[in-house]
Each structure stands twice: as structure tokens, then as C-alpha cells.
Chain A
């Protein structure tokens, strides 16, 4: 049987197998060469010892890592309440921009203005303006908390992006589906809710995953208005220890979260492409 299988390969299959083996050998060899070059050549640079002491200092990392992990909980907290709010607001803005009735024209203008403004302004500026500006109007505690207004700034900015992605998703559903549904007697509302949105949302899930990953990193921008999340905590260590290693520690923690998320987004994207074929 085994003999049969081996012999069962056609000449072309055997050739292809050989080609595959050849290319994986080349890939392995070139990866090895690059790795060796990095490991051997970088430490030969004259400043390497100082760089290592400043950026990759084991003692400093051990000292700061537990507190960095602790501060990361604040990132997760802000992320956890911002993400659902962004999804809802983003969808509402997308629907506002897609309103068909002439009477709802002001809503379309609002949706367009919203995305223009919040997509066009750097996030950090929105965080500053809303995080310090609105509490400055004289709100009583705890309603002037930087957590509330900083999160709102993130929610507004990210909703603008997310709304555009949803809108692209809605546009990606062929117009004939809407016509067909209308001709069956469904109302505009029903068409949107039961026919278009389920497909539109499904189509944009991978793109929205990317927004989640970006949001997860941008939560750190709230450190500018007070919350001691991981980036600020790393900065405090950096100043006290005069060493940049805590930033590397923070980067490691971010990567632990974002790499699996990125791979998952890739997987979703690949699956979607397969299904569409």
C-alpha cells in the first residue's frame, strides 16, 4: 500500500514535491542567516552594551513588570467599556449617513460632519479637549472624572472610523437585495434590519477586529489626562530609574494581547475570502 502511494505520485507531483522541499530549505537557510546576523552583528556595535543596559535590563524589568501588569488592568477596564459603546455609536452614525428619506437629510449631514471632524482631529487632541475641557465647565465629582471624559473622547473618535467601516459593509450588500426585499413588501426599516445589516456586519468583522486592536493601544492616550495606566506607569519607572526598559516591558504586555488578536483577525479574513470563492 505504502509502496503504491509512493509510486502513485505522478511525475508532475514528484516535481512539485521536490520544488516545495527546495523552497522550504531556502526559507529556513535565509531565516537562519538573518537571525545569526542579528544575534552576532548587533552586539558588535560599539554602543550595544549601553543600549542593552538602558533598554533590555533584566533587573529593571523584573522590578517594574508586576506593577506594569497591575496598571494594564486599567487599560483593560477602559477598553471593556469603550468597545461596546463604540460599536453601538458607530453603527448609529453609519445608519444616519445612510438615511434615505428626504426628511432625514439633517441626520445625514450630522453623520457626515461627525465622521469628518472626529476622523480628522488627532486622537490626543480630542482626549485633551474633552478630558480637560468638559470637566472644566464646573461638573461636580465624580462626574468630572478623566476616566469618563477620556473614554468619551476615545468613543467619539473610534465611532467615526467604525461608522465608515460599517457604511462600507452596508454598501457591499448588492442593491438588488434591497429592491427584492422591498418588492416582497418589507418596510425600509425591516429591509435594513433583517436583510442588509446581518450581511453587512458579517462582511466587516475582520476590519472591525483591526479597529479593536488599534483601540486597545490608543487607550494609553488617556494617560495624558491623569489615569495611571500602563504607559504612564512605565514612564514613572523610566524617570525614577533613568532606564527605558519599563517601556519595553509595557510593549511586551501589549504584544501578548495584540498578537493573538491580530492572528485571529487574519484568520477571520482568510476564512471570509475562502467562503466568498
Chain B
């Protein structure tokens, strides 16, 4: 069955016309006929979107978005980008996007309110430590004793409570920039992020900080996987899922990952 859908998707991808042919999977299912509207964060961060410019197709999520769009039969010109916050994505009522793509972790609770595509990335959690704590050994016992922080709107918060179980109170912030400020002010020693974000923050945003270890993606109760978000019941979901299935099978997704996400093998696993 998937195979048939996949074939259909591939054949449609070959016809790079503005108007979608009848019988095409996405025909009549997008907000604007013939256009594919994708929402990203404001701002969108490296390495997911380079330079906050998703239109360039540069960055992991931007590249995946254009590849999925092509797989579904949309020309690059037919992809429209809008910006949205997490709250806008989950609020009831009409949405201003077909799909929303900003490192949304798929959880069963979220799935009750919105729909997710099949995962396009499995995110290991990684520990970013402040300049003053870079010689902390990558063991759970040593990590527990640190002063922890995190971004309040991410699944890292529950992961932190499940896996690390810090000794002290956790401080939570609104976004990455505030975690950065708290680290600079020496108010926290460590924070939990998905690995690519942690690597970016340590390399670019927080001088002297270091990613000292990663947890395997299946640590804790559930796997942390990113999916594209749809309004609940959006029929477009099957089209996107099919496109992603094709890209997983033919290696296109892995190739995009290798191109945009840093080599993560250098980060040791936490014992």
C-alpha cells in the first residue's frame, strides 16, 4: 500500500507544474490550492534553518521541507513560509499553515490535540555545561549535583526529571537566549537540549561552554522524535507521511541529515 502511494508521489514529483494534477495526493488539501504553506519558528535557529532564512532551503529543516514538498509535487516556488509560535500551533481554531516544522517532539499528549507526521529526525538529548563546569565527568552521579536549567517549553524538562533527576531545583527559561544569559551569569551549570541545538549553542552562542555528553535517543520513557505538526485531522498528513517514507527508503533524508547536522559521534554517551 505504502509502495503504491510512494509511486504515486514520485510520479507526481516528476511533474513540476504549478497546478497540481487531479488525483494528486495533496490536491485540494492545502490551504491555498497549489501552494504548500510551512510554518517555522520566529526566529528559526541554526542548524535547523540557516540565517533565519528558510526560503534559501539551507539548514536541516528547510532542506527537509523543500525535499518533502518536491516529493509531493510542489515546485520550490510553491512553498510559502510563515512564522508561528508554539502556542499558535496548538491553539484551537483555523491555522495559518499546512504544516509547522520547528523541532516539535512527538508526544502522545500533544498528539491528542494536533497531528504529527512520521518522525523526520530522532533527537538524542545532550548536556551543555557552562564555562565553569566543563570538567564535570559524563556520569549521571556527577550530573545530578549540578545546578540545572532548561527551556520551559521543551520536552527536555520532563526528560531532565526522568533521566537526570537533579538534586536541586531546576530553573526554567523562555528560550535559548535566556538560558545563555543565565549561564553567563553563572546561575546555572548545565542545561539539557537536543544534540544539534546543544552543539550550536556551545559553538556559537555561549562562549566557553561545552557539550560533555549525550543520552541515547531512547533514554527515559519515550523516544524523542521530531515530527511536522498539522491541525488535528488534516488529510494532508498521509501525503507528507508518504513523502517522508519515500525519502527514508531512498536515503534522501539521511543525506540531508549528513549534510546539515554536525557529526555527532565525538560526543560521548553518558553512563
Chain A positions near chain B (C-beta within 8 angstroms): 47, 50-51, 53-55, 132, 135-136, 138-139, 141, 144-146, 223-228, 232, 235-236, 238-244
Query: Of B92, B109, B186, which is within 8 A of A135 by CB?
Result: B186
- Classify the secondary structure of A's interface with B: helix
The answer to whether A144 touches B187, judged by C-beta atoms less than 8 angstroms apart, is: yes
Q: Give the complex CA separation of A138 and B184 in angstroms.
A: 9
A174 to chain B, nearest CB (A): 50
Question: Which residues in B have their C-beta under 8 angstroms from that of A240?
Answer: 107, 109-110, 155, 157-158
Q: Give the complex CA separation of A239 and B184 in angstroms.
A: 26
Question: Which residues in A have their C-beta under 8 angstroms from that of B185?
Answer: 132, 135-136, 144
Convert B198-228 into 0s and 1s, putting 1 for each residue whose CB lies closer than 8 angstroms to a CB of A.
Answer: 0000000000000000000000000000000
Given contacts A54-B113, A136-B181, contact A226 B149 (CB under 8 A): yes
The answer to whether B173 touches A224, judged by C-beta atoms less than 8 angstroms apart, is: yes
A22 to chain B, nearest CB (A): 44
Given contacts A226-B173, A228-B171, contact A236 B109 (CB under 8 A): no
Query: Of B109, B172, B184, which is within 8 A of A226 by CB?
Result: B172
Convert B20-49 into 0s and 1s, putting 1 for each residue whose CB lies closer than 8 angstroms to a CB of A.
Answer: 000000000000000000000000000000
Question: Which residues in B have their C-beta under 8 angstroms from that of A145?
Answer: 187
Whether B139 sits at the interface, judged by CB under 8 Å, is: no
The answer to whether A146 touches B90, judged by C-beta atoms less than 8 angstroms apart, is: no
Chain A residue at smallest Cβ distance from B182: A226
Convert B166-191 into 0s and 1s, putting 1 for each residue whose CB lies closer than 8 angstroms to a CB of A.
Answer: 00011111100010011011111000
Sample (30) of A-B pairs whose CB atoms are under 8 Å apart: A47-B93, A53-B92, A132-B178, A132-B184, A132-B185, A135-B186, A136-B184, A139-B186, A144-B185, A144-B186, A145-B187, A146-B171, A223-B152, A223-B172, A224-B173, A224-B174, A225-B173, A225-B182, A226-B173, A232-B152, A236-B153, A239-B86, A239-B155, A239-B157, A240-B107, A241-B110, A241-B113, A242-B109, A242-B110, A242-B114
Q: Give the complex CA separation of A138 and B154 in angstroms.
A: 29
- Number of chain B residues close to chain A: CB under 8 A: 34
Whether B91 sits at the interface, judged by CB under 8 Å, is: yes
Chain B residue at smallest Cβ distance from A63: B109
- What 7 new A-B contacts, CB under 8 Å, besides A138-B186, A242-B109? A144-B185, A226-B182, A236-B153, A239-B86, A241-B113, A244-B87, A244-B91
Question: Which residues in B have their C-beta under 8 angstroms from that of A139?
Answer: 186
Whether B135 sits at the interface, judged by CB under 8 Å, is: no
Task: With a 10 A CB-CB cut-off, give which of B92, B157, B181 has the most chain A CB atoms.
Answer: B92
Whether B77 sits at the interface, judged by CB under 8 Å, is: no
Question: Which residues in A have their C-beta under 8 angstroms from that of B154?
Answer: 239
Question: Which residues in A have their C-beta under 8 angstroms from that of B149?
Answer: 226
The answer to whether B92 touches A132, judged by C-beta atoms less than 8 angstroms apart, is: no
Question: Which residues in A have their C-beta under 8 angstroms from that of B152?
Answer: 223, 228, 232, 235-236, 239
Within 8 A of A (CB), among B69-118: 86-87, 90-93, 107, 109-110, 112-114
Given contacts A226-B172, A240-B107, contact A47 B92 (CB under 8 A): yes
The answer to whether A243 touches B173, judged by C-beta atoms less than 8 angstroms apart, is: no
B160 to chain A, nearest CB (A): 11
Chain B residue at smallest Cβ distance from A51: B92
Chain A residue at smallest Cβ distance from B186: A144
The answer to whether A242 touches B186, judged by C-beta atoms less than 8 angstroms apart, is: no
B253 to chain A, nearest CB (A): 25
Given contacts A136-B184, A144-B185, contact A224 B157 (CB under 8 A): no
Q: Give the complex CA separation of A112 and B92 in angstroms.
A: 48
Within 8 A of A (CB), among B109-165: 109-110, 112-114, 147, 149, 152-155, 157-158
Question: Which residues in A have their C-beta under 8 angstroms from that of B93?
Answer: 47, 50-51
A128 to chain B, nearest CB (A): 8
Q: Give the complex CA separation of A271 and B170 in angstroms.
A: 46
The answer to whether B91 touches A132, judged by C-beta atoms less than 8 angstroms apart, is: no
CB-based closest 7 A-B pairs? A226-B171, A50-B92, A135-B185, A242-B110, A239-B153, A242-B113, A136-B185
Question: Which residues in A have their C-beta under 8 angstroms from that of B173?
Answer: 224-226
The answer to whether B91 touches A54, judged by C-beta atoms less than 8 angstroms apart, is: yes
B108 to chain A, nearest CB (A): 10
Given contacts A50-B93, A244-B91, contact A236 B172 (CB under 8 A): yes
Query: Of B90, B155, B157, which is within 8 A of A54 by CB?
Result: B90
Task: With a 10 A CB-CB cut-off, give which of A141, A226, A244 has the most chain B CB atoms.
Answer: A226
Q: Give the complex CA separation of A83 and B186 in angstroms.
A: 28
Question: Which residues in A have their C-beta under 8 angstroms from that of B153?
Answer: 235-236, 238-239
